[in-house]
């Protein structure tokens, strides 16, 4: 009889010991499940801006998300060959971030080989602009004209851009039409380095750009 009681007590003790980890597992699972939505929501917020950025994010956070060091760093300006969420059209990306205000400007550049007529460059410009219009609405202003140039013939399109005598640009201004994700302005512009090589630049400025710019200027001027 004594052995049976002792065995029952041992089983009871063993049972109590096995219940504790189970309870702990349930609690841990509940905590993990509760934490996941918050983590996902935070990640979604941080990736809501252009190319997976967010206004005010630090240069360190930006670099960590890209997963590679910048190839150029100069007074708040950082240049990378990628972005937190890169786009296949663009090969280089630039960011401006100050110590106090964080990220305030995002840029991306796509290189386009083109004939001197600029057919390929203009086609890529329109392709990217169409995607931007779908997301941000109609531009506040568009300019596609020659500015007092002598390069007026169809075959002079690229040369006009090289000489800065032709403009092909579209601009969005949040003061004229609200922009999402804390953006203050957006610009797409075509440029050319030669009669056969051009580029499309897209530039986003967050609403903290003015403060960010002033902080970086003050830092630079402190060296005088």
Q: What is the pLDDT along the chain (224 residues), one digit of tens a residue?
A: 444 334 334 334 334 444 444 443 433 433 343 334 433 444 444 468 999 999 999 999 999 999 999 999 999 999 999 999 999 999 999 999 999 999 999 999 999 999 999 999 999 999 999 999 999 999 999 999 988 778 788 899 999 999 999 999 999 999 999 999 999 999 999 999 999 999 999 999 999 999 999 999 999 999 99
What is the DSSP code (8-state) at residue 51?
G
Could you tell me the CA-to-CA distances from 178 to 26, 45, 172 in Å, in that order? 46, 19, 9
Q: In the chain, where are the structural domains located?
A: 1-46, 54-221
Query: Do the Cβ atoms of 97 and 212 come closer than 8 Å?
Result: yes
DSSP string, 150-186: S--SGGGHHHHHHTT-EEEEEEEETTTS--STTEEEE
Three-class SS state of 199: strand
Cβ neighbours for 111, distance < 8 A, ≥ 6 positions apart: 91, 197, 198, 199
pLDDT at 28: 43
How much is the pLDDT for 48? 86
- Whether residue 185 contacts residue 204, with contact meaning beta carbons closer than 8 Å, is answered with yes
- Stated as kind and residue range, the H or E segment containing 141 is strand 141-146
Largest interatomic CA distance in the chain: 114
Bridge partners of 109, per DSSP, are 92, 201
Q: Are strands 77-80 and 72-74 parallel, antiparallel or unpaired?
A: antiparallel
Measured in whole angstroms, how far is the alpha carbon of residue 77 from the centre of its chain?
A: 14
- Grouping H, G, I as helix, E, B as strand and the rest as coil, residue 115 is coil
Tokens of residue 73, six digits: 């760093």
Q: SS3 of 86, please?
A: coil
Burial class (CB in 10 A: 0-12, 13-18, 19+), 200: buried
- Rounded CA-CA distance 167/175 in Å is 23
Three-class DSSP category at 6: helix
Provide the pLDDT for residue 47.
67
């Amino acid at each position: 009889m004594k052995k049976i009681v002792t065995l029952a007590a041992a089983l009871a003790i063993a049972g109590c010991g096995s219940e504790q980890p189970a309870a702990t597992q349930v609690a841990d699972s509940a905590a993990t499940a509760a934490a996941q939505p918050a983590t996902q929501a935070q990640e979604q917020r941080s990736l809501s801006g252009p190319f997976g950025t967010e206004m005010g994010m630090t240069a360190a956070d930006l670099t960590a998300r890209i997963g590679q060091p910048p190839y150029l760093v100069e007074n708040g300006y950082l240049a990378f060959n990628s972005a937190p969420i890169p786009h296949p059209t663009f090969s280089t990306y630039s960011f401006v971030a100050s110590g106090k205000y964080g990220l305030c400007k995002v840029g991306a550049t796509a290189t386009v080989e083109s004939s001197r007529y600029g057919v390929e460059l203009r086609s890529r410009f329109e392709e990217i602009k169409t995607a931007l219009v779908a997301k941000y609405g109609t531009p506040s202003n568009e300019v596609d004209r020659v500015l007092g140039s002598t390069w007026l013939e169809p075959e002079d399109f690229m040369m006009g851009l090289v000489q800065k005598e032709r403009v092909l640009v579209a601009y969005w201004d949040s003061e004229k039409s609200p922009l999402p994700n804390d953006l203050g302005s957006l610009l797409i512009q075509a440029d050319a380095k030669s009669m056969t090589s051009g580029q499309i630049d897209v530039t986003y400025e967050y609403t903290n750009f003015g403060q960010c710019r002033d902080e970086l200027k003050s830092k630079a001027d402190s060296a005088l």
